[in-house]
Amino acid sequence: MSRLSSRHILPLASSIPIAVLSGFMMVLCGFCLLGLFGIQSITQNWLSETQDKLTIEVLAYDKDIIAVLDQAQLDTALIKIEKYLDNDPIVTSIDIQRFETQPLIDSDLTIPAPIFVVVNLLKNRIDNAEDRLMANITNLVPNTNFKTIQNWERDINQTATTLKVTFGGLTLCILIVTGVILIGFIKGHLKSNDQTIQIIHLMGADSSKIAALFQKFTFIPLILGLISSIIIISSVFTPALLLIDVNIDVFAFSIALLITNITFIALCQIVTYITVTHELRNLP
């Protein structure tokens, strides 16, 4: 069989802009995908790091009467907490984080900053040991807030979800922009090759056959775009991520990248088909 090739109606060179566009857009898609995988990895790191941690925030004001404490009161509270933590068997170490106090502008009043105590807990601790520790500290120093693993999980997951939605939205935007540009490109080619299309139509090609020719016309540049995007991502972005010590599952990422780009190509092919058949809908 000798099928009609797209080069018979459209010169292959005129498809170069599609190769450039698709390559660029697929790199952007790959970048978003890397972002998603990076967030996943970072989230897991954060969660594992906070797994056996409890953060105590020694407040700089009295919780009940909302009165600002002075530095001496804050230090006393901290000493009490330290003393307690030294004797609690589930505590392995503590890390105290103090922040600089800044005087208020145009005021003699200096409000001390809260103090954070990061408590590293025993891995094999009994159930409720954490609750007991928090209750005891609250009894000792009422002006305390606690950030438990559950709080951390909630915050980290919230941040991760926001970032994932952002990257997902970006991918969607990339697909939409590509689709719009592709539609314009196809319409332009339909217009500039009006005579050729008329001739093909008169020879017995219906709009779906002409659309199939346009699909062939866009397929090769899309594949070129796919190859170039894979080369760029694997040679630039992935090493960059590894350098900043983000451990992504390279195999899973490669599969996801391939699936994303194949989906990208499939969508471009569908857009091409729909655009051509829609534009030629008035042909008898």
**Cβ distance to other proteins smaller for residue 239 or 284:** 284
Rounded least distance, CB 281 to other proteins, Å: 10
Backbone φ, ψ for residue 225 (5° rounding): -60, -40
- Answer yes or no: are the C-beta atoms of 27 and 232 closer than 8 Å: yes
**Cβ distance to other proteins smaller for residue 72 or 203:** 203
- Answer yes or no: are the C-beta atoms of 118 and 57 closer than 8 Å: no
CA-based nearest residue to 182, from 258, 275, 278: 275
**How many residues at the interface with other proteins, by CB under 8 A?**
23
Per CB under 8 A, which region of 74-82, 195-203, 224-232, 259-267 contacts other proteins?
Answer: 195-203
Rounded least distance, CB 193 to other proteins, Å: 9
Residue 212 binds other proteins (CB under 8 A): no
> What does the radius of gyration of the chain's CA atoms come to, in whole angstroms?
31
Query: DSSP class of residue 91?
Result: E
Rounded least distance, CB 225 to other proteins, Å: 24
Per CB under 8 A, which region of 127-135, 191-199, 216-224, 230-238 contacts other proteins?
Answer: 191-199
**Cβ distance to other proteins smaller for residue 187 or 201:** 201
- From candidates 145, 206, 219, 228, binder to other proteins by CB under 8 A: 206
Residue 207 binds other proteins (CB under 8 A): yes
**Cβ distance to other proteins smaller for residue 85 or 205:** 205
CA-based nearest residue to 233, from 263, 254, 247, 248: 254
Cα gap 280→49, rounded to integer Å: 60
Backbone φ, ψ for residue 193 (5° rounding): -110, 30
Cα gap 5→146, rounded to integer Å: 69
Binding positions for other proteins, rule: CB under 8 A: 1-5, 8-9, 11, 195-196, 198-207, 209, 283-284
